[in-house]
C-alpha cells in the first residue's frame, strides 16, 4: 500500500468542502422513506413526475418554520346540543364556514334543514322539514351539507371563506463529523479516504431518516447553554390524524372501511397515498389482496413499488426496516399523503461572501481543527417538514 501525506489527504477532502450534495441520491438504499417522499411523491401526484406532488422548498423562516394551512371546505358538522322537532335553532360544535341558504341533511332521520342565518360561532337559525321528511328530535347527530338553495330575488350572500390556520415546525440541524489524524493517513485511511467519506455519508442520511420517522418537535439547551431544536416528523403527524385498531378483526372489508377516512381528504386530485409499515404489517394487508397487488414504476427516478386499488384510490406500499418490535411499530401501518408534505430547507447569507446559501447537505472542513496532525470536516444538513392536513393521514394497527 502506498501511503499519502497529510497534505494530500487534506487536498482529497477539499474536493468535498462546501459542495452541495443531493440528499436523496447520496444513498437511496439507506433512506427508503425520504427518497420515496421526494422521488415517488413527485410521481404520485396526478401520476405525472413533472407535476410536483412533494417538492423541496426553501424558507427564510428560521429556526421556527411557520406556514398557513387552508384545509378543504368542511361538509360535515356536529350538533353540540340536542334539538327537539320544533326547534328553529341548532347548536353546533362550530359554525365556521357556514352561510345563509345551505341545505343540511341529518343522516339518522333523513330530514333536510335550511340555514337561514348564522347567529353565533355555535348557533344557526334554520327552517326545519325542507322536503318530504318530517322534523324529528336529534341527539348528538352529525349534519351533512348537501347544497345551497338561495331565495327568489336574492343576488348576493354574506361573504365567507375558509380561514387559514397557522402551523409551525422547527428546523433541525444534523451533523456528522469525519476525522482523520496523521496515523490514520499513514495507515488505514491513506488510500481509502473515499471509503471513510462514504461510510460517514451513509451514517448521516440514516440519522436523518430516523429523524423523519420518530422525532417530535421541541426546543432545548445543551450543557453549554446553546439552543437546539428537534422537529415533528411523519409518525407523529400520522398519529395526529385518523387512528384505529383493527388488529382483532382484520379483513378486506374492515380495512377498506377504516382507511376510507383519510382517503376522504385529497389535494389537487391526488387519490394515491403511501402505506408505510413493517414487513409484518404490510404482509398482513397484502395477504388480503393476493390477486389484486400490482407493480408500478416511475421510470424517471428508476423506482418500482407495489400497490393495491382501494375504495377511493390507490395505496402504495413502502416497507421500512426501522419499523420493528425494537421501535414498537411492527404492527402498524401509517397512511401518508405526499401532496400534503414538503421538505423545507432554510436560506440565509454566507458570513464571508454574503452569497445566498441554503440548508441542503454540504460537507464543510473545520479549519480550526485541521493541522499537520489532524483533518476534520462535517456533513451538515438543516431541514424540516411542512406537514399539511393531518386528516389526510392515519395510524392503523393491523396486527395483534
pLDDT tens by residue, 282-315: 999 999 988 777 766 555 445 567 888 887 788 8
With 60 as the cut, is the pLDDT of residue 382 above it?
A: yes
**Average pLDDT of the residues in 130-145:** 86
In a domain, 296, yes or no: yes
Tell me the β-bridge partners of 245.
397
Among 29-38, 69-78, 158-167, 304-313, the range scoring the smallest mean pLDDT is 29-38
Confidence at residue 237, expressed as pLDDT on a 0 to 100 scale? 92
Residue 391: phi and psi, rounded to 5, are -60, -25
Residues 290 and 364 in one domain: yes
CB neighbour list of residue 261: distance below 8 Å, 6 or more residues apart: 242, 391, 394
In a domain, 292, yes or no: yes
Closest by CA position to 386, among listed 206, 70, 168? 168
pLDDT, tens digit (0-9, with 9 covering 90-100), for 332-373:
999 998 888 888 889 887 766 666 677 888 888 888 888 888
- For 195, the grid coordinates are 471509503
Residues 47 and 96 in one domain: no
In a domain, 5, yes or no: yes
Which pTM was predicted? 0.74
Nearest-10 crossing angle of helices 193-214, 6-14: 40
Confidence at residue 219, expressed as pLDDT on a 0 to 100 scale? 96
- For 250, the grid coordinates are 382484520
Residues 104 and 242 in one domain: no
Residues 109 and 141 in one domain: yes
pLDDT, tens digit (0-9, with 9 covering 90-100), for 173-226:
999 998 888 787 777 655 567 777 878 888 888 888 888 889 999 999 999 999
162 — pLDDT class (breaks 50, 70, 90)? low
In a domain, 154, yes or no: no
Residues 251 and 120 in one domain: no
**Average pLDDT of the residues in 222-246:** 94
As for how many domains the chain has, the answer is 2
With 60 as the cut, is the pLDDT of residue 161 above it?
A: no
- For 101, the grid coordinates are 341558504
Residues 3 and 106 in one domain: no
Among 33-37, 88-92, 185-189, 394-398, which range has the highest average pLDDT?
394-398
Residues 278 and 144 in one domain: no
Residues 224 and 323 in one domain: yes
**Average pLDDT of the residues in 235-242:** 92
**Average pLDDT of the residues in 223-233:** 94
In a domain, 251, yes or no: yes
In a domain, 158, yes or no: no
**Average pLDDT of the residues in 145-174:** 80
Residues 99 and 176 in one domain: no
DSSP states of 77-127: EEBSS-B-TT-SEEEBS--TT--TTEEEE-TTT--EEEEEEE-SSSEEEEE
With 90 as the cut, is the pLDDT of residue 248 above it?
A: yes
- For 394, the grid coordinates are 392515519
Confidence at residue 251, expressed as pLDDT on a 0 to 100 scale? 93
pLDDT, tens digit (0-9, with 9 covering 90-100), for 27-68:
455 566 676 666 555 555 544 444 433 467 888 889 999 998
In a domain, 159, yes or no: no
Tell me the β-bridge partners of 374.
181, 371
The answer to whether 105 touches 112, Cβ cutoff 8 Å, is yes
The answer to whether 293 touches 252, Cβ cutoff 8 Å, is no
Residue 121: phi and psi, rounded to 5, are -65, -15
Secondary structure of residue 374 in the 3-state scheme: strand
Confidence at residue 47, expressed as pLDDT on a 0 to 100 scale? 47
Residues 68 and 122 in one domain: no
Q: For the chain, what is the mean pLDDT?
A: 81
26 — pLDDT class (breaks 50, 70, 90)? very low
Confidence at residue 22, expressed as pLDDT on a 0 to 100 scale? 60
Confidence at residue 4, expressed as pLDDT on a 0 to 100 scale? 52
- Give the angle 70-395-343 at the CA atoms, nearest 5°: 50
With 60 as the cut, is the pLDDT of residue 396 above it?
A: yes
Residues 42 and 124 in one domain: no
Closest by CA position to 218, among listed 226, 228, 209? 228
Q: Which pairing describes strands 165-170 and 64-69: parallel, antiparallel, or unpaired?
A: antiparallel
In a domain, 350, yes or no: yes
- For 299, the grid coordinates are 421510470
Confidence at residue 232, expressed as pLDDT on a 0 to 100 scale? 92
Q: Residue 377 sits in which domain range?
A: 1-72+167-400
Residues 244 and 345 in one domain: yes
Amino acid at each position: 500500500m502506498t501511503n499519502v501525506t497529510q497534505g494530500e489527504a487534506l487536498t482529497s477532502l477539499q474536493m468535498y468542502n462546501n459542495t452541495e450534495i443531493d440528499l436523496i441520491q447520496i444513498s437511496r438504499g439507506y433512506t427508503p422513506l425520504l427518497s420515496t417522499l421526494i422521488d415517488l411523491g413527485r410521481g404520485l401526484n396526478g401520476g405525472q413526475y413533472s407535476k410536483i406532488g412533494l417538492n423541496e422548498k426553501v424558507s427564510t423562516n428560521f429556526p421556527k418554520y411557520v406556514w398557513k394551512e387552508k384545509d378543504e371546505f368542511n361538509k360535515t358538522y356536529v350538533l353540540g346540543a340536542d334539538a327537539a322537532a320544533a326547534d328553529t335553532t341548532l347548536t353546533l360544535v362550530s359554525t365556521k364556514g357556514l352561510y345563509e341558504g345551505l341545505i343540511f341533511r341529518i343522516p339518522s332521520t333523513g330530514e333536510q334543514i335550511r340555514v337561514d342565518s348564522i347567529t353565533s360561532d355555535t348557533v344557526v337559525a334554520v327552517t326545519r322539514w325542507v322536503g318530504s321528511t318530517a322534523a324529528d328530535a336529534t341527539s348528538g347527530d352529525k349534519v351533512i351539507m348537501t347544497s345551497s338553495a338561495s331565495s327568489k330575488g336574492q343576488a348576493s350572500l354574506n361573504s365567507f371563506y375558509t380561514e387559514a390556520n397557522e402551523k409551525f415546525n422547527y428546523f433541525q440541524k444534523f451533523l456528522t463529523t469525519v476525522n482523520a489524524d496523521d496515523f490514520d493517513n499513514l495507515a488505514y485511511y491513506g488510500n481509502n479516504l473515499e471509503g471513510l467519506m462514504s461510510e460517514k455519508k451513509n451514517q448521516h442520511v440514516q440519522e436523518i431518516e430516523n429523524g423523519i420517522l420518530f422525532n417530535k418537535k421541541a426546543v432545548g439547551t445543551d450543557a453549554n447553554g446553546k439552543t437546539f431544536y428537534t422537529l415533528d416528523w411523519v409518525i407523529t403527524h400520522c398519529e395526529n390524524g385518523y387512528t384505529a385498531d383493527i388488529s382483532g378483526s382484520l379483513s378486506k372489508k374492515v380495512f377498506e372501511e377504516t382507511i376510507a377516512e383519510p382517503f376522504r381528504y385529497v389535494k389537487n386530485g391526488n387519490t394515491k397515498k403511501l402505506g408505510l409499515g413493517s414487513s409484518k404489517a404490510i404482509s398482513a394487508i397484502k395477504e388480503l389482496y393476493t390477486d389484486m397487488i400490482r407493480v408500478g414504476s416511475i421510470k424517471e427516478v428508476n423506482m418500482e413499488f407495489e400497490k393495491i386499488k382501494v375504495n377511493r384510490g390507490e395505496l402504495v406500499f413502502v416497507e421500512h426496516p426501522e419499523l420493528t418490535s425494537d421501535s414498537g411499530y411492527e404492527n402498524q401501518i401509517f397512511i401518508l399523503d405526499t401532496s400534503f408534505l414538503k421538505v423545507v430547507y432554510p436560506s440565509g447569507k454566507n458570513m464571508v461572501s454574503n452569497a445566498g446559501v441554503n440548508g441542503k447537505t454540504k460537507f464543510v472542513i473545520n479549519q480550526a481543527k485541521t493541522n499537520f496532525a489532524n483533518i476534520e470536516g462535517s456533513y451538515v444538513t438543516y431541514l424540516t417538514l411542512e406537514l399539511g392536513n393531518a386528516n389526510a393521514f392515519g395510524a392503523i394497527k393491523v396486527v395483534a
